[in-house]
């Protein structure tokens, strides 16, 4: 065994493990492998992006020592940027929609970032929208760099030079499909760029939450169902980011919140994978896609982040019931209640002796 010592945490970004799934696919004849992005040192796929956006800006002279990074982020990109900034000495201001979990806001503040919350459910062009507010803050903050993850080409590029090649190496080039989600689109587009360059036949499949417009844009070239709110964080869109390269995708699959959240709970209890709801959505998307395949296939799913950021949501029975994601009457899929020792002993007919 050769164990290496890293000189700093930045060296530990990427090279995440790929692990075979063994239970949640039930009787499916296909092989499923999960790329576990929570192994990144900041806890999500967005560490790759944080480093790429910052180093890209440094190279172009857009980010100078002591500068401030401004970004509209649903949490994970903020964490990636805050993590890299803490090591490189930059300040951060993050603009986030109000639906984002309390845990995600708290961790960003712990890294020293300023968090600004904007209302969800307003049009992107609205001056109150998180994109508009971000632009305004960036324009009016001296010595600042607007990271612009949705449109900055460094985003997809980092996945073309890291995530894609890693999967290729881990699967020894034998992979029929890769299923992921698209928020900015960087992850799947970058992997798609790499696969195209390789002239590989690997199918790039996007799982999209119901309520996102990306599915319609892919199949109908226009929005048919207007965007609607949904509970899965970090994936799906109400506009088309430059980093979503629809021409590199081979299919889209729609997933409901209920399917996504229920699968997220199966992933932790059956596979011991503590991942966020976007991973549940991607797994369901992969299973739906796989149902249509006629020969046994090898499918890689990208699991973007850690479930610990969602303890108050997907892993909280009351929140699940209140949001119509878990049936209170048949709480079969619920977790064991926390009880005090006295009640536990009483149920067992034990005594303190
Ligand atoms: C939890 C989560 N899953 C998936 C994604 C999608 O990744 P990408 O922005 O590369 O499309 C994101 C992006 O923010 C995310 O935060």
**For 183-235, how does the pLDDT look when each residue is reduced to its tens digit (9 = 90+)?**
999 999 999 999 999 999 999 999 999 999 999 999 999 999 999 999 999 99
- 235 CA → ligand 1 middle, Å: 5
Q: Looking at the predicted structure, is the pLDDT value of residue 115 above 90? A: yes
Mutate to test the pocket of ligand 1, among 50, 74, 183, 184 (most ligand atoms within 8 A of CB): 183
The whole-number pLDDT of residue 120 equals 82
Question: Ligand 1 within 6 A of 236 CB?
Answer: no
Q: Looking at the predicted structure, is the pLDDT value of residue 280 above 80? A: yes
- 181 CA → ligand 1 middle, Å: 7
Question: Ligand 1 within 6 A of 187 CB?
Answer: yes
Closest-lying ligand 1 atom to the alpha carbon of residue 233:
1
Q: Ligand 1 atom 12: the closest Cα is on which residue?
A: 234
* pLDDT band per the 50, 70, 90 thresholds, residue 338: confident
Domain boundaries, the chain: 9-39+153-315, 46-146
Question: Ligand 1 within 6 A of 56 CB?
Answer: no
Q: Tell me what the pLDDT averaged over the chain comes to.
A: 94
Neighbours of 321 (CB within 10 A): 15
Query: Which of the pair, 85 or 130, is modelled with greater confidence?
Result: 85
**Of 328, 325, 340, 195, which Cα lies nearest the Cα of 260?**
325
Annotated catalytic residue within 46, 104, 231, 313: 46
The whole-number pLDDT of residue 1 equals 72
Closest-lying ligand 1 atom to the alpha carbon of residue 302:
4
* pLDDT band per the 50, 70, 90 thresholds, residue 105: confident
Give CA torsion, residues 26, 27, 28, 33, to 10 deg.
Answer: 40
Residue 83, Cα to own-chain centre: how many angstroms? 17
Phi-psi region for residue 164, left (φ > 0), alpha (ψ -120 to 50) or beta?
alpha
Residue 55, classified by CB atoms within 10 Å of its CB into exposed (0-12), middle (13-18) or buried (19+), is middle
Question: Ligand 1 within 6 A of 182 CB?
Answer: yes
Query: Which two three-digit tokens encode residue 7?
Result: 């000189």
Q: What's the average model confidence in pLDDT over 124-143?
A: 90
Q: Looking at the predicted structure, is the pLDDT value of residue 333 above 70? A: no
Tell me if domain 9-39+153-315 and domain 46-146 are identical in fold. yes
Q: What's the average model confidence in pLDDT over 66-91?
A: 93
Q: Contact at 8 Å (CB) between 188 and 155?
A: no
The whole-number pLDDT of residue 94 equals 95
Q: Contact at 8 Å (CB) between 3 and 269?
A: no
Q: Ligand 1 atom 14: the closest Cα is on which residue?
A: 234
- 67 CA → ligand 1 middle, Å: 25
- Which CATH architecture group holds 46-146? 3-Layer(aba) Sandwich (3.40)
Per DSSP, the three-state class of 186 is helix
Question: Ligand 1 within 6 A of 212 CB?
Answer: no
Count CA atoms closer than 13 A to 186's CA, side-chain side.
Answer: 27
The whole-number pLDDT of residue 331 equals 64
Overall fold of domain 9-39+153-315 = Rossmann fold (3.40.50)
Does 46 qualify as catalytic in the annotation? yes
Q: Looking at the predicted structure, is the pLDDT value of residue 330 above 90? A: no
Q: Contact at 8 Å (CB) between 304 and 289?
A: no
Strands (E), the chain: 18-20, 31-36, 68-72, 91-97, 114-118, 144-146, 177-181, 203-209, 251-255, 298-303
The whole-number pLDDT of residue 147 equals 95
The whole-number pLDDT of residue 134 equals 86
* pLDDT band per the 50, 70, 90 thresholds, residue 84: very high
What span, in angstroms and rounded, lies between the C-alpha atoms of 332 and 349?
25
Q: What's the average model confidence in pLDDT over 168-182?
A: 98
Question: Ligand 1 within 6 A of 192 CB?
Answer: no
Measured in degrees and rounded to the nearest 5, phi and psi for residue 166 equal: -60, -45
* pLDDT band per the 50, 70, 90 thresholds, residue 151: very high
What span, in angstroms and rounded, lies between the C-alpha atoms of 280 and 262?
7
The gap between the terminal CA atoms of the chain, to the nearest Å, is: 50
Closest-lying ligand 1 atom to the alpha carbon of residue 304:
3
DSSP tag of 160: I
The whole-number pLDDT of residue 74 equals 67
């Amino acid at each position: 065994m050769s164990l290496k010592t890293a000189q700093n945490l930045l060296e530990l970004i990427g090279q995440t493990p790929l692990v075979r799934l063994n239970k949640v696919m039930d009787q499916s004849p296909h092989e499923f492998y999960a790329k576990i992005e929570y192994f990144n040192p900041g806890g999500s796929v967005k560490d790759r992006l944080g480093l790429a956006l910052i180093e890209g800006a440094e190279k172009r002279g857009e980010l100078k020592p002591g500068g401030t990074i401004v970004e509209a982020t649903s949490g994970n990109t903020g964490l990636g940027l805050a993590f890299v900034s803490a090591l490189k000495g930059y300040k951060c201001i993050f603009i986030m929609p109000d639906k984002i979990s309390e845990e995600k806001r708290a961790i960003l503040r712990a890294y020293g970032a300023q968090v600004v919350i904007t209302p969800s459910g307003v049009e992107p062009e609205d001056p109150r929208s998180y994109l508009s507010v971000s632009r305004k803050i960036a324009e009016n903050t001296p010595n600042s760099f607007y990271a612009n993850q949705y449109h900055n080409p460094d985003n997809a590029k980092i996945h073309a030079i890291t995530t894609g090649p890693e999967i290729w190496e881990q699967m020894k080039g034998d992979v029929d499909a890769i299923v992921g989600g698209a928020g900015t689109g960087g992850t799947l587009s970058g992997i798609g760029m790499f696969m195209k360059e390789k002239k590989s036949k690997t199918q790039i499949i996007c799982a999209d939450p119901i309520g996102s417009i990306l599915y319609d844009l892919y199949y109908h070239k226009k929005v048919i169902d207007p965007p609607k709110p949904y509970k899965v964080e970090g994936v799906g869109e109400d506009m088309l980011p430059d980093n979503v390269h629809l021409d590199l995708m081979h299919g889209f699959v729609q997933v409901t919140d209920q399917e996504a959240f229920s699968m997220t709970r199966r992933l932790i209890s059956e596979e011991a994978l503590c991942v966020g709801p976007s991973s549940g959505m991607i797994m369901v998307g992969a299973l739906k896609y796989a149902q249509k395949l006629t020969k046994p296939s090898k499918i890689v799913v990208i699991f973007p982040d850690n479930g610990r950021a969602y303890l108050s949501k997907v892993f909280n029975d009351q929140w699940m019931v209140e949001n119509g994601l878990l049936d209170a009457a048949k709480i079969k899929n619920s977790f064991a209640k926390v009880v005090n020792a006295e009640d536990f002993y009483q149920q067992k007919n034990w005594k303190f002796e």
